[in-house]
Amino acid sequence: MSKIKTVIWPKVIFFGDSITQGSFQPNGWGADIANKLARKCDVLNRGLSGYNSRWGKILFPRLFSSTNSAEDNIAAVTVFFGANDCALQDKNPQQHVPLQEYSDNLKEITKLLASVGVSADRVILITPPPLNESAWEKECIVKGCPLNRHNSVAGQYAQACVQAASQCGVDVLDLWTLMQKDGQDYTVYLSDGLHLSQEGNQFVAQHLWELLERRVADLPFLLPYWGDVDTKSPESSLLCDL
């Protein structure tokens, strides 16, 4: 019998902070997209709660292989940092990253992705969402600290993300702008002022899919449809080259 060929599943990787880590919860944006891509690719969650772009850049070599082998067939990567970077330096110095460094980190992460074979056309940067200060202040008070983020500052980091994406030639999903477009009530998209509500997850899933779909549109449905399996000789259907 000839050697059985392993099925190589392409990958879509979500890299970011808690908004990414929590995206696989029920009704999460990551879970929604993973469901759309079932039997086409593996969707991997590399969200790290509380992390910023500085730590993400440092950690990159531990998360992404430097060997550009068939097993590392990456169809797309999202980079979603900023919600922690934009924490106020005097109120939350541990998570705060200066604006220019944040921009530089995003550019460096894009370069690092290119170094492991993920070209710019497969990278999507995502800006931090807007911040509902009154709701987040209540969360801060419960934790015994003052309000440590401002929506206007989150907007500065969002703009830096958009500019970094333009300079790197990658797509960007500008949540901060889209969620506040035409004066809409963006607070419905946030559960605690910072993280996404169910409506927010639906919003991200919808708009991210618009950018992601063309990158995965040509991925085939892996392995035969059950009705096409030869019942008399299933091996001939299930072990054949794809």
Catalytic site positions: 18, 192, 195
Q: Strand order in 74-80's β-sheet? A: 42-47, 11-16, 74-80, 123-126, 171-173
Tell me if 105 sits within 8 A of 17, measured CB to CB. Answer: no
Rounded CA-CA distance 204/49 in Å is: 18
3-state secondary structure of 121: helix
Instruction: Give dist(CA 2, CA 135) in Å, integer.
Output: 62
Residue 74 structure tokens:
């990456």
Nearest to 155 by CA among 130, 125, 123: 130
